[in-house]
Amino acid sequence: MNELKTANEEFNTKYLSRTQEYGDASPETIKTKREETNTAYYALRDRIDALHLLVETPMSPYATVINQLNALTDQYNKLLINRTDNMSTETPENS
């Protein structure tokens, strides 16, 4: 039970720290970091795909990683669609 409590406290501490970092970050910094992350992700994805194609055995060891990345990409895209849908259905309050 103490292990779970400790894990929850560590999570809360990290979560609050990241939230504060996001709050302190400027939109330009966030945009730059997102672009850097995208570049690194695409390079990694291309490398994994190339290694997957080079494997001559029937079952590539990269198939699992590729499936997991595809699942994460699908989840992220659904998140973006939901955000877009929520933003378009919100109506500005009349002042």
The residue with greater pLDDT, 44 or 86, is 44
- Tens digit of each residue's pLDDT (9 = 90 or more) over 24-41: 878 888 889 889 999 999
- More confidently predicted of 39 and 89: 39
Q: What is the pLDDT of residue 37?
A: 94
pLDDT higher than 90, residue 93:
no
Residue 95 has a pLDDT of 45
Residue spans of the domains in the chain: they are 2-89
Residue by residue, DSSP assigns 2-69 as HHHHHHHHHHHHHHHHHHHHHHHS-HHHHHHHHHHHHHHHHHHHHHHHHHHHH--SSS-TTHHHHHHH
Is pLDDT larger for residue 72 or for residue 94? Answer: 72
